[in-house]
């Protein structure tokens, strides 16, 4: 059984709320794009994973940061929607809602966990969670009915 495009988009949006680059990087890394695009996505994620731990990194809850996270969630939701047969509206809305929730929940988590475990362990736990959410959201594609593509066209030999 596969998760619905709306659920996958919500999961990806939540991950984008934690690390904004994952909104686009997840779908890019699990698509058949060429290696330069994939390399750029990996570099962007790696850069954000490092920058997030630096003491001078601004809060994710300031308006420009929130806007970027919501936009990244929306873009990722739209990319995931293209993999399925349905339209993009519900997945994009779910991804934006997920990004908003992920932004606020991630900030609250760090505020709660950092004094108890230290800033680095709290950040690494958050990294693990958002990377896992991205893997769940962008994992194996929806399967098509036997003899058909995801868009409903007949395949050769069927």
Residue 152 lies in a domain: no
- Domain ranges, residue 105: 5-138
Mean pLDDT of 20-47: 94
Is 143 exposed, middle or buried, given 0-12, 13-18 or 19+ CB atoms closer than 10 A?
A: exposed
Asked if residue 156 has pLDDT above 80, the reply is: no
Residue 114 lies in a domain: yes
To the question of pTM greater than 0.75 for the whole model, the response is yes
Kindly report, residue by residue over 52-90, the tens digit of the pLDDT: 999 899 999 999 999 999 999 999 999 999 988 788 999
Residue 19 lies in a domain: yes
Q: What per-residue confidence (pLDDT) applies to 147? A: 42
Total number of domains in the chain:
1
Compute the chain's Rg from CA coordinates. Answer: 17
Residue 148 lies in a domain: no
User: Residue 8, Cβ neighbours under 10 Å: how many?
Assistant: 28
Residue 74 lies in a domain: yes
Residue 69 lies in a domain: yes
- Strand partners for 148: 154
Residue 145 lies in a domain: no
Asked if residue 143 has pLDDT above 60, the reply is: no
């Amino acid at each position: 059984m596969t998760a619905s495009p709306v659920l996958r988009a919500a999961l990806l949006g939540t991950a984008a709320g934690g690390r904004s680059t994952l909104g686009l990087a997840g779908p890019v890394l699990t698509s058949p794009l060429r290696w330069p695009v994939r390399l750029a996505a990996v570099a962007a994620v790696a850069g954000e994973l490092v920058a997030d731990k630096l003491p001078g990194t601004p809060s994710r809850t300031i308006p420009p940061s929130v806007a970027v996270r919501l936009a990244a969630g929306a873009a990722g939701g739209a990319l995931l929607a293209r993999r399925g047969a349905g339209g993009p509206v519900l997945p994009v809305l779910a991804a934006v809602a997920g990004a908003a929730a992920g932004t606020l929940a991630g900030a609250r988590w760090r505020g709660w966990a950092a004094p108890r475990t230290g800033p680095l362990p709290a950040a690494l736990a958050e990294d693990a969670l958002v990377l896992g959410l991205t893997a769940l959201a962008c994992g194996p594609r929806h399967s098509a009915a036997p003899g058909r593509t995801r868009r409903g066209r007949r395949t050769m030999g069927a």
